[in-house]
Amino acid sequence: MKLAVYPGSFDPVTNGHLDIVKRGARVFDKVVVAVLHNAQKSPLFSVEERKELIGEVTRDMGNVEVDSFDGLLVDYVRRKKADVIIRGLRAVSDFEYELQFASMMRKLDPDVETLFMMTNNQYSFLSSGIVKEVASGGGDVKGLVPAAVEEALSRKYGY
């Protein structure tokens, strides 16, 4: 069985993330969406809230699992016995960072591959940060995030 891990903070999960999850689920037998717990950041949503939201929007995908981790991604990937790390690319500007990331993963564990997937062009500008910025100002995020995330943002920002 080919198992892939799609790691990220997903604060919040966007339609761009979901695009990568759906496409990854067509390529691999199983995709684990792994929510990073990063103590150095102050996320809008807790790890549990992010896991719940991702679980809700991927519920109909039978080969998608939602999990969380802290520490080194390579250690998590080894524990899961995954073959591949999925990384989404929005634009050329993402490539330099992602190349460094993939090179470090290769150094830490040469048996784990990193697969880059280009996000659908309609989401090439989209990031969780932009979504939070728009939502915090009361802007419309419809079409940028799944409906469940749109509702959760509305509750967080009180509108």
Residue 116 CA to residue 119 CA, distance in Å, equals 9
- Residue 145's SS3 state is strand
Fold designation for 3-124: Rossmann fold (3.40.50)
Q: Which of 30, 78, 80, 90 is catalytic?
A: 90
Does residue 98 have a known ligand-binding role?
yes
Residue 44 CA to residue 34 CA, distance in Å, equals 17
- How long a stretch of residues is the chain? 159
DSSP 3-state percent helix, strand, coil across the chain (nearest 5): 45, 20, 35
At residue 60, what is the residue type? D
Does residue 116 have a known ligand-binding role?
no
Does residue 93 have a known ligand-binding role?
no
Q: Could you list the pLDDT tens digit for every one of the 159 residues in the chain?
A: 899 999 999 999 999 999 999 999 999 999 999 999 987 778 999 999 999 999 999 999 999 999 999 999 999 999 999 999 999 998 877 888 999 999 999 999 999 999 999 999 999 999 999 999 999 999 999 999 999 999 999 999 987
Q: Which of 26, 41, 81, 155 is catalytic?
A: 41
Contact of 69 with 34, CB cutoff 8 Å? yes
Residue 87 CA to residue 65 CA, distance in Å, equals 16
HEC assignment per residue over 67-107 = EEECCCHHHHHHHHCCCEEEEEECCHHHHHHHHHHHHHHHH
From first CA to last CA, the distance across the chain in angstroms is 45
Does residue 156 have a known ligand-binding role?
no
pTM: 0.94
Does residue 50 have a known ligand-binding role?
no
Does residue 125 have a known ligand-binding role?
yes
For residue 63, report the phi and psi dihedrals to the nearest 5 degrees: -110, 25
Residue 96 CA to residue 32 CA, distance in Å, equals 25
Q: Is 37 a catalytic residue?
A: no
Contact of 29 with 53, CB cutoff 8 Å? no
Q: Where are the domains of the chain?
A: 3-124
For 113-159, what is each residue's pLDDT tens digit?
999 999 999 999 999 999 999 999 999 999 999 999 999 999 999 87
Q: Is 90 a catalytic residue?
A: yes
